[in-house]
Structure 1
Amino acid sequence: MQSYTKAGDFTFGSKLRSALIDNIIYYGSYLLIVGILLLYIAFTDMGLDGAKLRAIAASASNTWGLFWLVLLLGYGLVEVPQSIWHSASTLHTLHQAYFRAAKLSLERAESNERVSDLLQSMRALGGSIGLGHPLRPHMDVIESKVPSELLDSVRRHPPPDSPHADVPSEKALVRLHKQVSHCSKSLLEPFLHDS
């Protein structure tokens, strides 16, 4: 479902196909590793049968669970008292706030740059897709996800006329749609206030 929602395609079928391809790649790698391990066990002199396979699966499951239990419990036993100790120190809280402010400022500058690049891409692609173009409905879907203030700025500054302007493909529009979908409203809001 996550791959389906992150897909930048425009139709149900193409989104579903992209999600299936992503999941096949992801889970196929796990199945390949498990298959290699099963082949290794089968070709060694262990004599693989149903009971031994169940024992291997149970021990692997218990090992995985114990690993996470130790990892998370150890983190909780150390981090909770440490965070309580640090929250009592005003100097530590002040330094942490300075660090967070600097980090947020850097993230905001990077977000502004990403949105600016995205708007330039929209300007370039939108300028070569006219009203009668067959890909215009896809461009309308992309534009519907952009706040109206940013969309007006894109439309006010048309791209420079180039005699060799490439007509965009559906794949380029899918890529742009994916980028616009990943730009959340919280990413676009600071950019609106700067304009």
Structure 2
Amino acid sequence: VAAVSASPSQQRAAMWVASALISVIVSAALLRHYAEPHTRVYILALVCFSWSLTFFIVLLLPFDLEHAFCERCRQGAEELERDPDSCACLPNPGIELLPTCISFAYGTTMLLGYVMNDLLMGYINSGEFSARGKLRDAMREAAIFYIPAAVIGIGFMLWLIVHDGLTFTTIRALGRAFVNTIGLFILVAFLGYGLVEVPRSLWNQGDTLGQLRYLQFKVAIKSEELQAARRKLDETLELVRSTDVQLRQEAASAASQGYARLQANMAQMLGRCPTLAAAAPMPPARDSESGLKPPLGSPGSPKKGLSSPGAPAARAPDRLTHKALVALHLRLIKALASDKRARGMYELYVRQGIRQQAVVERYNRALSRWQ
């Protein structure tokens, strides 16, 4: 009764607020489930805002469709000289704001999805030591693509205006259609992959022995990747240590104050090294107490300090400069990410292999009881 007796302004506010709240709650729940622990707060905030706008568009879509069907019904009733009020239409207060809201949400989502994503990746993966340097490095990386693309786009827009006499509104519609076409191509590619891969994965899960052999193969591959990542990480750590020793020697023998900044930058890199050196790969998957055999035929757990005998030793740069430390810091960041990714995939397939072997053994025990 309260909902029926509510004024149009209250209904309008309830519709918009409910859609916004549901969008934010759903986005926050997905981030809580999928986001990696210790993710930076500003990244979570931007992703949550972008996802909320996307869900906001989806939640408002039924209102838009219902309003379109209602208007079509009323136009048909007027043509047939019937009463337009006979159409069963839902109350849509504030529906005139929908085009503006969708345009704003669409443009902001595209901006966050394309531009902000590249800026954040460049900022996080930058080898600079200060926030200002990271931002400058990210802007420089983004400018490599976006400035030529903007020049080409503006030139093409001017050509359309001069040659075909198109208006700005028409060009904006063409640009939006072009972006939508790219999105549709991506959607078709994802659907083409998912509609084939998902049924195939479900079909293969019915073959317990085949799944176990597949996981054995994947663990062997991921173990080799983890060993390679660990070797690269160890070489990078050794290079950081040798560079630190060289920097201390040069700072002690020089009277210049220019080494203070380099030593502060080196301290930031050394702050990463203890955690990296203490990180150990997962041992081979064995569980003697539960009777599980080493299910995955792992070639052995990678160990810290593995390096090929013929590999050259890590060597510090001849001349220590800020640019050299930035390059070394970038190499350390990449080695950290590679080791973390390889270790995570290795442990994931090991856990899946242990569970799959348990399934196979339960199946064999059940089969032996029935024979």
C-alpha displacement of 1:113: 2.0
What does residue 85 of structure 1 align with?
Answer: 203
Q: Of the candidates 309, 329, 333, which is equivalent to residue 181 of structure 1?
A: 333
The 1:30–1:99 alpha-carbon spacing in structure 2 relative to 1, beyond 3 Å, is farther
- Residues in 2 aligned to 1:149 and 1:12: alpha-carbon distance in whole angstroms: 23
The 1:17–1:62 alpha-carbon spacing in structure 2 relative to 1, beyond 3 Å, is closer
After TM superposition, what 4+ stretches of structure 1 lie above 4 angstroms from structure 2? Answer: none
Q: Does the CA contact (< 8 Å) of 2:204 and 2:211 recur in 1?
A: yes
TM-score (normalizing by structure 2): 0.42
- Residues in 1 aligned to 2:329 and 2:130: alpha-carbon distance in whole angstroms: 12
Which residue identity lines up with residue 175 of structure 1 in the other structure?
A: A
Which residue identity lines up with residue 49 of structure 1 in the other structure?
A: T
The 1:54–1:42 alpha-carbon spacing in structure 2 relative to 1, beyond 3 Å, is same
Q: Does the CA contact (< 8 Å) of 2:126 and 2:330 recur in 1?
A: yes
Q: Does 1:7 align with 2:126?
A: yes
- Residues in 2 aligned to 1:38 and 1:9: alpha-carbon distance in whole angstroms: 37
- Residues in 1 aligned to 2:217 and 2:155: alpha-carbon distance in whole angstroms: 46
Q: Does the CA contact (< 8 Å) of 2:129 and 2:265 recur in 1?
A: yes
What does residue 222 of structure 2 align with?
Answer: 104
What does residue 263 of structure 2 align with?
Answer: 136
Q: Does 1:38 align with 2:190?
A: no
Q: Does the CA contact (< 8 Å) of 2:276 and 2:336 recur in 1?
A: no
What does residue 20 of structure 1 align with?
Answer: 139
Task: Map 1:42-191 to 2 at 5 A.
Answer: 42=161, 45-130=163-248, 132=252, 133-134=259-260, 135-147=262-274, 150=277, 166-184=318-336, 187=339
C-alpha displacement of 1:110: 1.2
Q: Which has the higher contact order (CA 8 A, sep 6+)?
A: 1
Q: What whole-Å deviation, never above 9, does each CA across 1:90-138 have from its counterpart, x for those lacking one?
A: 2331232122112112211211221122023213311211165432222
The number of residue pairs the alignment matches comes to 178
- Residues in 2 aligned to 1:182 and 1:149: alpha-carbon distance in whole angstroms: 12
Structure exhibiting the larger radius of gyration computed from Cα positions = 2
Q: Name structure 2 gaps, 5 residues minimum.
A: 1-119, 253-258, 279-303, 305-316, 344-371
C-alpha displacement of 1:15: 1.8
- Residues in 1 aligned to 2:193 and 2:221: alpha-carbon distance in whole angstroms: 24
Identity of aligned residues (%): 30
Which residue identity lines up with residue 246 of structure 2 in the other structure?
A: S
Q: Does the CA contact (< 8 Å) of 1:145 and 1:181 recur in 2?
A: no
- State the SS of the aligned residue for 1:147: helix
TM-score (normalizing by structure 1): 0.75
Q: What whole-Å deviation, never above 9, does each CA across 1:130-189 have from its counterpart, x for those lacking one?
A: 1654322221111111126849x9xxxxxxxxxxx8341111111111222333388279
The 1:62–1:3 alpha-carbon spacing in structure 2 relative to 1, beyond 3 Å, is closer
- Residues in 1 aligned to 2:186 and 2:337: alpha-carbon distance in whole angstroms: 35
Q: Does the CA contact (< 8 Å) of 2:128 and 2:329 recur in 1?
A: yes
C-alpha displacement of 1:23: 1.6
C-alpha displacement of 1:42: 4.6
Higher deviation after alignment, 46-55 or 170-179: 46-55
